[in-house]
Amino acid sequence: MLLSLKLENLVLIEKARITFGSGLNILTGETGAGKSVLLAAIRLISGEKGSSDWIRYDAASAVVEAEIFPYPAFPEELEAPPPGEPLLIRRELFRSNKSRCFIQDNLVSAGFLRKFIRPILEIVDQNSSQYLCEPESQRKMLDTFADLESFVLEFGRSFEEEVQLKKRLHQALEANSRSKEDLSYAQSSLK
């Protein structure tokens, strides 16, 4: 669960800290109240792409920090927070359009952050219905509903193994064909 969100130099916000309640949190307000900025901050800590346009006009960088508790099993390659302490995630954006992602002060890739945070945080907005229209999303939902994830993984491994075997067979057939051509050429040279 997202406990708090701290923003620095994000769009028009110089500094802000938002504490969330347990359970469902809904962001509402008038146009221009800053809902989109908060949503952008949450997307940043979810590993989504950011933009240097989001940095406050008078700053060199923007920082978004989040505290999350509880959180999933921690990867061995990263330093875990002390037991009972929240997980700290930080995202930094720079004018050069570069960004950095941190989990507990461990530098990680945006892709790693996305995979790590996906089971923890779900963002639902007015564009979420587009996700439902994607065939890949529909397949994943059906597989999950039917409890087929392990079969899907096994099928994927089998398919990849078949692709590799076909590739090796094709290479072996090409090598055999070249060997036959070389042998034919050698035999014709001897005559």
The per-residue pLDDT of the chain, averaged, comes to 86
Structure tokens at 51: 């933009």
pLDDT tens for each residue of 125-137: 777 677 778 888 8
pTM equals: 0.63
Cβ neighbours of residue 30 closer than 8 Å, sequence gap 6 or more: none
Question: Residue 157's pLDDT band (boundaries 50, 70, 90)?
Answer: very high
Mean pLDDT of 104-121: 85
Amino acid letter, residue 111: G
Cβ neighbours of residue 118 closer than 8 Å, sequence gap 6 or more: 46
The residues pairing with 101 across neighbouring beta strands, listed in sequence order, are 91, 108
Structure tokens at 71: 């959180």
Peptide bond before residue 70 is cis, with ω within 30 degrees of 0? yes
Percent of the chain predicted with pLDDT > 90: 34
Residue 20 three-state SS: coil
75 pLDDT more than 80: no
Structure tokens at 171: 């290479």
Strand runs (DSSP E) across 69-137, as ranges?
Answer: 87-94, 99-103, 106-108
Residue 28's pLDDT is what?
83
Contact 34, 20 (CB under 8 A): no
Residue 160's pLDDT is what?
93
Length of the chain: 191
Selection from 28, 13, 112, 114 nearest residue 58 by Cα: 13
